[in-house]
Amino acid sequence: MFDIGFSELVVIGLVALIVIGPEKLPRVARTVGHLIGRLQRYVADVKSDINREVELDELRKMRDSVQQAAASIETSVTSGVTKTEEEINRSISGEVPAVAAVASPFPSPEPAKPDSLPDEKKA
């Protein structure tokens, strides 16, 4: 952030020693150190608050996307159940559903003829 080298710190220290004096300089340096520590803690608190707000905003967005996905799944399941109920009701009422009208690739079993049944009376 600030590019202050050792030589600049020495110059600042010498100017402070001349302006403030050798008796008050340790007390002023201690006070400045406490103020800088408070400032650093305050900046750290502000950063952590900002990070919490950003994380909270991301969690809200994630919650909204999960709710939208759940609503989408619910509508698809509801429509599938409705279609299935309609097909069941049509098959109960005697209508042939559109799916059953399609030819099956497997041959349907033929009913047994009465002549080909074994005669139980002969045995």
Whole-number Å distance between alpha carbons of 19 and 15: 6
Residue given tokens 């049509």 in the structure block: 90
**What's the N-to-C CA distance of the chain in angstroms?**
108
Asked whether the CA dihedral 66, 72, 75, 81 is positive or negative, the reply is negative
pLDDT, greater one: 97 or 110: 110
Assigned token pair, 22: 């050798």
Q: Are 28 and 20 in contact (CB under 8 A)?
A: yes
Q: What is the pLDDT of residues 44-103, one digit of tens each?
A: 999 999 999 999 999 999 999 999 999 999 999 999 999 999 999 888 887 554 555 555
Asked whether residue 104 carries a pLDDT value surpassing 50, the answer given is yes
CA 32 from chain centre, in angstroms, equals 46
For 1-51, write each residue's pLDDT tens digit.
Answer: 567 788 998 898 889 888 988 899 899 989 999 999 999 999 999 999 999
pLDDT, position 22: 87
- For 4, the token pair is 């202050």
User: Model-level pTM greater than 0.75?
Assistant: no
pLDDT at 123 over 50: no
The tokens 């710190």 sit on which residue? Answer: 9
